[in-house]
Amino acid sequence: MRADLAASYGEERLPRYTSYPTAPHFSPAIGEDAYARWLAELPAAASASLYLHVPFCREMCWYCGCHTQIVRRDGLIAAYLRTLRSEIAQVSETIGRRIKVEHIHFGGGTPTIMAPEAFAELMAAMRQSFFVLPSAEIAVEIDPRTLTADMVEAMRLSGVNRASLGVQSFDPVVQRAINRVQSFEQTASVVDMLQHAGINGINFDLIYGLPHQTVASCLDTVRRSLELGPDRFSVFGYAHVPAFKKHQRMINEAVLPDGLARHDQACAIANALKEAGYVQIGLDHFARPDDSMAVAFEQRTLRRNFQGYTTDKGEVLLGFGASAIGHLPQGYVQNEVQIGAYAQSIAAGHLATAKGYGLTDDDRLRADIIERIMCEFSADLGDICARHGAEAGAMLKSASRLKPLISDGVVRLDGDRIAVAKDSRFLVRSVAAAFDAHLDPAKQLHSRAV
């Protein structure tokens, strides 16, 4: 990574481009009626992925950017899960058939906060409403501090084959500063339980840019994580947005690393993981060379959705639960964010869609370009534009933000093909943003580029 470029571009507030256009551009103009129509219009051969949002935790991690709330009473969780099962049946009925499902992802919050029997009931409801393929990837996000052996057994019996563990940092000073004290021993115990249950797809989530974090503490976290041998790592930069996430005000901004320090931490983590034999995938993922994600990256079939990088090739993502986002060929939909409003909609027999976005032909073109840049660090504009009936020259002319990136050596332009320079790949979001027709630099809604 080049420190001069980190200083020049690192303070930009840019999307992570898990969708295009991004969620701030969703509008109430797309609601229940549009979603119902889009579901009914799905082709007979379509397959889908399912995302289930469980917005509950036992305590708040101060760095968290998710839609979640703290619960002490399990009755609230049970009521929410009943609503979730109703929504699953409702969406399936609107589609009109049991659509094939290739991927299921439980996110949160803390999905494993639910009772083991409730998890089994939820999986059974999905299998009843959808045709979950025997080869489907079923992934669950896990807080190692609260996972029980009974829950692991319920996951095993339900066919879960991938687990994503929140680690963030093993530095006790950092952990206290973010209100997430989690020992190495707790994490190791959970990995052992999962592997003994045959759940061998293990992901670790790490974060850099946290309060009191240093290059040394980041490297120590990597070293200890490697002892547990996960298949994949997701390495994210902390997004400090206390205006939107009020609990982040508990973090002392004076001890947050600056842009250059974040750059050094990201670089150190990436180098350590690559030296350990992991393949760097896109902006923030690392995988063993034989992992399916590394294979997809090598074969240029990697995709990007709301869970980040994925091997999921489908065009349909159905989101369930409060705040959940779905993606269909026609556009995006998002459920009511507030749990009460979400539950009321489902109880009244309505889809819980609160807002969305209908894609234009130009959006689809730009989405393809941005996805290839984010996944491959390059894009053949001639090929992509031709498939969309557009001209590469006109697209390049409209990308005015690309000019300084080319001048600074971040991007190479060879005819109609653009490529991000290897020493500048940490700025891939800046390159993708050059093709974002909706980006408003005046609105600081996103995390820093570095």
Final residue of a domain: which of 271, 288, 320? 320
Closest CA to 312 of 50, 23, 99, 20: 50
* Residues 376 and 425 occupy one common structural domain: yes
First to last CA, the chain: 11
State the DSSP H helix or E strand holding residue 355, giving kind and residue range, or none if neither. Answer: strand 353-358
Look at residue 347 and tell me if it is in a domain.
Answer: no
Q: Sorting pLDDT into bands at 50, 70 and 90, what band is 10?
A: low
- Find how far residue 406's CA is from the centre of its chain: 29
- Measured torsion, CA atoms of residues 258, 259, 260, 261, in degrees rounded to the nearest 10: 50
The pLDDT assigned to 236 comes to 93
Question: Dmax of the chain from CA atoms?
Answer: 61
* Residues 119 and 192 occupy one common structural domain: yes
Look at residue 295 and tell me if it is in a domain.
Answer: yes
Q: What is the chain's Cα-based Rg? A: 21
Mean pLDDT of 388-416: 95
Final residue of a domain: which of 320, 336, 351? 320
Give me the sheet containing 131-142, strands edge to edge.
279-281, 285-287, 232-237, 201-208, 162-168, 131-142, 100-108, 47-54, 317-320, 325-328, 331-335, 353-358
Look at residue 326 and tell me if it is in a domain.
Answer: no
Q: Sorting pLDDT into bands at 50, 70 and 90, what band is 444?
A: low
Residue 188 lies in domain:
21-320
Number of domains in the chain: 2
CATH code, domain with 50: 3.80.30.20
Q: Sorting pLDDT into bands at 50, 70 and 90, what band is 41?
A: very high
DSSP strand pairing (331-335 vs 325-328): antiparallel
The pLDDT assigned to 313 comes to 86
State the DSSP H helix or E strand holding residue 412, giving kind and residue range, or none if neither. Answer: strand 411-414
CATH code, domain with 400: 1.10.10.920
CA distance 204 to 86: 32
3 state SS of 172: helix
The string of pLDDT tens digits covering residues 76-127 is 999 999 999 999 999 999 999 999 999 999 999 999 999 999 999 999 999 9
The pLDDT assigned to 259 comes to 83
Per-chain mean pLDDT for the chain: 94
Look at residue 161 and tell me if it is in a domain.
Answer: yes
* Residues 145 and 160 occupy one common structural domain: yes
Phi, psi at residue 208, to the nearest 5°?
A: -115, 165
The string of pLDDT tens digits covering residues 341-361 is 999 999 999 999 999 999 999
The string of pLDDT tens digits covering residues 256-313 is 999 889 989 999 999 999 999 999 999 899 999 999 999 999 999 999 998 889 999 8
How many C-beta neighbours within 10 Å does residue 440 have? 10
* Residues 40 and 8 occupy one common structural domain: no
* Residues 257 and 204 occupy one common structural domain: yes
* Residues 148 and 269 occupy one common structural domain: yes
* Residues 400 and 443 occupy one common structural domain: yes
Task: Give the CB-side neighbour count of residue 87, counting CA atoms within 13 A.
Answer: 28
Whether residue 183 has pLDDT greater than 60: yes
Mean pLDDT of 120-139: 97
Task: Give the CB-side neighbour count of residue 391, counting CA atoms within 13 A.
Answer: 4
Handedness of CA 105, 109, 112, 115 (dihedral sign): negative
* Residues 155 and 278 occupy one common structural domain: yes
Look at residue 331 and tell me if it is in a domain.
Answer: no
CA distance 294 to 280: 8
Q: Where are the beta strands (DSSP E) in 72-215?
A: 100-108, 131-142, 162-168, 201-208
Look at residue 350 and tell me if it is in a domain.
Answer: no
The pLDDT assigned to 450 comes to 54
Look at residue 113 and tell me if it is in a domain.
Answer: yes
Residue 2 and residue 441 in contact, taking contact as beta carbons nearer than 8 Å: no
* Residues 148 and 80 occupy one common structural domain: yes
- Helices and strands counted in the chain (H then E): 16, 21
Which pTM value belongs to this model?
0.93
* Residues 64 and 110 occupy one common structural domain: yes
DSSP 27: B
Whether residue 448 has pLDDT greater than 60: no
Mean pLDDT of 49-74: 94
Look at residue 247 and tell me if it is in a domain.
Answer: yes
Write the CA distances from 290 to 164, 239, 296, integer angstroms: 18, 31, 10
Phi, psi at residue 339, to the nearest 5°?
A: -60, -40
* Residues 373 and 259 occupy one common structural domain: no
Final residue of a domain: which of 270, 295, 320? 320
* Residues 43 and 93 occupy one common structural domain: yes
